[in-house]
Chain A
Amino acid sequence: MPGYSIMVDTSKCTACRGCQIACKQWNVLPGTETRNLGTHQNPPDFNFNTYKVVRFSEGSQPDGKAFWYFMTDQCRHCLSPGCMATVENGEIIQDEKTGAVLYTPKTKDLDFNAVREGCPFDVPRQDEKSKLIAKCTLCFDRITNNMIPACVKSCPTGAMTFGPREEILELVGKTVDGLKKKFPDAKAVNADEVRVIYVVTDDPAKYYKYMAGR
C-alpha cells in the first residue's frame, strides 16, 4: 500500500496547538464561536469548519501523580475507509497516489449519519445549511505540490512527521522501540489500518475515547 503517512509521536506533543491553527489558516476556515467549558480544549470537538482539534486529557495515574495527555486529532485517512461504505457515485474518493481520502461537493447527497457512524474515529462533520460533509484533506493541495501538510510544517518539536508510507512505518517502529525504554506500554495505534499513525506511551483511551476507534 504506497502513498503517504503521518506519524504523530504524542510523547513529543506539547499542545502548543500550532497545528490546529495552521490547519485553519491553510484551509481558510473561520474561527467558530466558543466558550471556555472548563478545559483548554477548544473548539470542543470537530465541526464543519474544524478539521483538527488538539484534545487534552488529564487525570491521576495509579500512583496518584497527575497526567496530562495531548492528542492532535484528525482524519486517519484509513486504508479501507469506513466513511465510504455508502458511497456509490464518487461522493468520497480515495486518491490512489497519495492515499488521501477526499470529500467532494457531492457529499451533500450522502446520508451524513451513515458517513459519520462509518468512521471509527467520529471525524466527519456536516454543514447544516449546505449539507456538505468535511474533514481533513491530508493537505492534498499541498502534498501534490511538493509541500508537507500544514500541521506537520507548523510543529516545533517534531511530534509530526510526513512521508512515504513505508518510511513512516519504519520510523514508527523505531520510535516505539526507542520509547519502550522509558515507557514499557509504548505502541503505535492501528498502524496497519490507517495513514495517520499515533504513537502513544499509555492506553490510547486515556488520550481520547476514540483514539483507537470506537
Chain B
Amino acid sequence: MTNHWIDLKNSDCILVMGSNAAANHPISMKWVQRAKDKGAVLLSVDPRFTQTSAKADFYTALRSGTDVAFLGGMINYIVNNNRYFKEYVAEYTNASFIVGDKFDFADGLFSGYNKEKRSYDKSTWAYKKNDKGTIEKDPTLQNPRCVFQLMKKHYSRYAPEQVSGITGTPVEDLLKVYDIYSQTGVKDKAGTIMYAMGWTQHTVGVQNIRAMSMIQLLLGNIGIPGGGVNALRGESNVQGSTDHALLFHILPGYLKTPVSTFQTLEAYNKASAPVSNDPMSANWWQNYPKYSTSLLTAMWGDAAKKENDFGYGWLPKIDPGQNFSWLNLFDAMYDGKIKGFFAWGQNPACSGANANKVRAALAKLDWLVNVNIFDNETGSFWKAPGQDPKTIKTEVFMLPCAASMEKAGSITNSGRWAQWRYKAVNAPGDARPDGDILTDLMLRVKKLYKAGGKFPDPILNLKWDYVDAHGEFDPIAAAKQINGFFLQDKEIAGKQFKKGDLVPAFGLLQADGSTSAGNWLYTQSFNADGNNMARRGKDDPTGMGLYPKWGWAWPVNRRILYNRASVDASGKPWSPNKAIIEWKEGKWVGDVPDGPWPPMSDKEKTKYPFIMTAEGFGRVFGPGLQDGPFPEHYEPLECPIPNNPMNKQYINPTAKIFSGKMDQHLTCDPRFPFVATTYRVTEHWQTGVMTRWQPWLIEAEPQMFVEMSIELAKMRGINNGDKVKVSSPRGEVGCIAIVTTRFRPFKVAGIEVHEVGMPWSFGWITPKDGGESVNLLTPNIGDPNTMIPESKAFMVNVIKS
C-alpha cells in the first residue's frame, strides 16, 4: 500500500477491483464503512457479484482477464473529458517528458520487440535527453512526442464500445464507473483502489496495476490521504516477507540479486544505483552503495572488510536472464534438476498453479522437508489418492513449527506497519519457532562445512549471533541487526556515534563499512528509542488516522508514501480536508515527509516529490517493465474468443510459455467453453492448511464448490447443490454447484460467454469429502515481470457428475 488500512476512511471514492475485500480482508470494511458514513462512494467491479458488491453503491461486471481494457477506457475517458488534475500531472508526473524517436507502437507491439526471445529492447523506450543529459520536457503537454500525447493517442483506441466488446461490461456501466471515479481528479477529493490477487494473477498482472497507477497519477490521487494504490496483501506478513527478500530476484530492502557479470561490489553498485543529471532530483537510489555495503557487513560481521569487498564475492549470483521464480523452480524440479526442497509454511501441492505438475515434481525429489503447523497435501503428497507410495522415492521429513501466537517477532501489514508481537503460549509438543529451526539448521550446516566442503567461506564467515543464553533463537537480536549498528566510532555532521550504537535511521548508513543493516528500509525500527515496532501509542495529532506512535512504518515511519505530492509549490495542501503534511515556518509538519527539502517554490533547495524514481516524477510512462511502457490489452493464455479485438497480438507477447508434457493449455476450444476464475472465502486461510482442521470454520464452508449462472446451469442441466465435475486441459475437480444470479453471462465480441468461479481453499487431506484443490485446473503461465501464474482467468468445462 502507498497508504495504509485506516487511511481508507479518508477516501471520497473507493474502487474495489481485483479483490473481494469484504470476504478476504473483512476488517478493511470497517474503514470503508467509515468513509461511506462520511458520504464516500463504494464501487465494485468484479466478474461475480461478491460480498463487497453487496455493500457497493454501484456494481458492474467484467470478464476475467480484461482489466487493462476496462482501465484503458477510463484513461481515455479522463483525457477526453478533462478530468485530470492538470497542475499535478504537469508538475509531478512524467507526462511532460519527451520520449525518444525510436519509441513506437503498432499491431499490439511496442518498438524493440524480438520475436525469438519474446522480449523487448527497452532502450527504444528511452526519454529524449538534451546535451547536458537531462530529460527534455514540455510542461504544456502539447508536444506530440510527450508522454501525455503518446498516452492520449494510445488510449484513444479504448473507446467505451470497444472496451465493452472485450470486457462484456455494458457501455452505460463503464461510463458510470468512469464518471464517478474520475470526479476525484479535483483538489479536494481523493479516490483509492483496493486490489489483490484478482489483478496480479494474470499474464498482464503488473500492467493491470500500472494502468491504475496511471489513473491515480492523472487524477492527482497519489500521495494524498484517502488515495494511493493499495495492494491488499493476502497473508498477514507477506509485506514483511517481501521486504526481507522472500523472492529470488531481491535482497532485503529491494536491493538487487547480484548477477554474475558484476564481479565486484563496485561494479554491482554502479549497475544498481541510477544516475540523474538533474540537480532537483533526489534520486534516492543513488544511496544504493550505503545499503548494499551495510547489508554485507550485517551478514558477515567482522569478516566483511574493505580488502575483501565486504564479502560481496560470497553472495550467490545469478547468470544474466536467469529466473528462479516459482513456475521455473517447479519446472526444474519436474525435470529432475532439483534434489531437495524445503516447503516452509506453504502447501505447493494445493497452492501451485497446475498442481498435478507440482505433485509430480515432488515425486522427483530425493528429499522434502515440510515445515508446518499441520500435516498438509505437500508433506503427504506420496499417499494422495491416485499415488502409489511404493513407486515414490522422495524421503519426507515433517518438522512441526510454532504458530504465530507461539513465538515473538515482528509482522508487517499491507500498510507497511511493522508491529511487534509477544509470545502468548509455548508451542505444543515438539513444535519449535521457525527461528529455532533455522538456527539449528544453520549451525549444523556450519559444522559440516568446518569438516570440509567446497567454497566454505560464505558459510563459515556468516555472522549468526541471534541466539540467547538458553541457545534459543532471539528475535530481539535479529530485529536489532535488521535495524543495524555502528561498527566503529563515527562522527556524522557533528554528531558522535559509538561502536555498537544502533543506527538511528537509514539516512546515517554508510558505504565505507562503518555501519551494518540487515535491511536498510527497517533502519529506525529498533534504535536508541527502543523497539519502535512494539509501540502502542494512540495519539492521532493530524486527525487523519496516522497514529504515528503505534508500531512503526517503513520508511522512517512515513505513513503515506509520496506525500510531498499532496501539496502545491508553496507547500500548502491541495485542499485543507486533504492535509497530511504542510510547510509551516520553514519546516514540514504532519506526516514524515518524503525528504526534508523545502517545497517546490524554493528552486534552489527543493527536490521533486517522487524521490524513488531517478527522474523524480511519477511515471505515467513506465519504461522499465518487460511488456511495454503503456498497458495494452492482451487476452489471457486461455480465453473464449478467437482473436484479440484490440490488436494483432493474441496474448501478452512477452509471457513465458512452458511446453512440456504437463504444460497443457487450450484456448477458444469447444471442449473447454467457460471462463473460470479462483478466489478465497473468509472462513479459509489460503489452501486451508490451518482452517480445514477447525470445526467451526469447516462447518461454515465445508466443501469445494463452483459458482455459476442460472443460464449456464440450465444449459448443462445442473441444479443448485448438484455434484458436478469441472475440468481443464490439466485436470479435473469435483465440486458442489452453487447456481446463482450473482454470475451472469457476458456479451463479448458478439458472443455469449459464461464464467464460473471456484475457491482454492480445499485439498484431499481433510475434511472428508471436502474436495480437491482448484489448482489442479489452473495454468502455469506467468506474468513476464513477476512470473505470477495466471490463476484468475483460464478455461474449463462443467458437467453434471
Q: B701: which A residues are within 8 A, CB to CB?
A: 36, 40, 42
Among candidates A16, A25, A156, residue contacting B696 with C-beta atoms closer than 8 Å: A25
Say whether A38 contacts B696, CB under 8 Å.
no
Tell me if A30 counts as interface (CB < 8 A to partner B). yes
Annotate A111-155 by CB proximity to B: 1 below 8 A, 0 otherwise: 000000000000000000000000000000000000000000000
Annotate A21-57 by CB proximity to B: 1 below 8 A, 0 otherwise: 1001100001111111111101100000000000000
Q: Indicate whether A16 sits within 8 Å of B682 (C-beta atoms), given known contacts A66-B49, A67-B54, A156-B26.
A: yes
Say whether B26 contacts A14, CB under 8 Å.
yes
Tell me if B197 counts as interface (CB < 8 A to partner A). no
* Number of residue pairs A-B, CB distance < 8 angstroms: 112
Say whether A42 contacts B702, CB under 8 Å.
yes
Cα A68 to Cα B720 with chains together (Å): 17
Cα A67 to Cα B740 with chains together (Å): 11
Cα A14 to Cα B21 with chains together (Å): 10
Q: Indicate whether A36 sits within 8 Å of B705 (C-beta atoms), given known contacts A24-B696, A31-B699.
A: yes
Tell me if A105 counts as interface (CB < 8 A to partner B). no
Q: A156: which B residues are within 8 A, CB to CB?
A: 26-27, 29-30
Closest to B49 in A: A66
Interface residues contributed by chain B, number (CB under 8 Å): 43
Tell me if B581 counts as interface (CB < 8 A to partner A). no
Q: Indicate whether A21 sits within 8 Å of B702 (C-beta atoms), given known contacts A14-B55, A37-B721, A68-B53.
A: no
Q: A66: which B residues are within 8 A, CB to CB?
A: 49, 53, 59, 741-742, 744
Say whether B741 contacts A36, CB under 8 Å.
no
Among candidates B30, B696, B721, B738, residue contacting A21 with C-beta atoms closer than 8 Å: B696
Cα A32 to Cα B694 with chains together (Å): 11
Q: A37: which B residues are within 8 A, CB to CB?
A: 721, 736
Closest to B26 in A: A16
A37 CB, nearest partner CB in chain B, Å: 5
Annotate B717-749 by CB proximity to A: 1 below 8 A, 0 otherwise: 001111000000000000011111110100000
Say whether B695 contacts A35, CB under 8 Å.
no
Say whether A17 contacts B700, CB under 8 Å.
yes
Say whether B738 contacts A32, CB under 8 Å.
no
Tell me if A158 counts as interface (CB < 8 A to partner B). yes
Say whether B30 contacts A34, CB under 8 Å.
no
Tell me if B697 counts as interface (CB < 8 A to partner A). yes
Closest to A32 in B: B699
Q: A58: which B residues are within 8 A, CB to CB?
A: 740-742
Q: A40: which B residues are within 8 A, CB to CB?
A: 681, 700-701, 738
Tell me if A164 counts as interface (CB < 8 A to partner B). no
Say whether B51 contacts A42, CB under 8 Å.
no
Q: B53: which A residues are within 8 A, CB to CB?
A: 66, 68
Tell me if B790 counts as interface (CB < 8 A to partner A). no
Say whether A20 contacts B700, CB under 8 Å.
yes
Q: A-contacting residues of B (Cβ < 8 Å)?
A: 22-23, 26-27, 29-30, 33, 49, 51-55, 57, 59, 681-683, 694-705, 719-722, 736-742, 744, 769
Question: Lowest 9 A-B CB distances belong to which pairs?
Answer: A31-B695, A38-B721, A38-B720, A31-B699, A14-B22, A16-B26, A36-B703, A36-B736, A68-B54
A-B contact pairs, 16 of them (CB 8 A): A14-B52, A14-B55, A15-B682, A16-B682, A17-B683, A20-B696, A21-B700, A25-B696, A36-B703, A36-B705, A38-B720, A38-B739, A39-B720, A43-B699, A65-B59, A67-B54
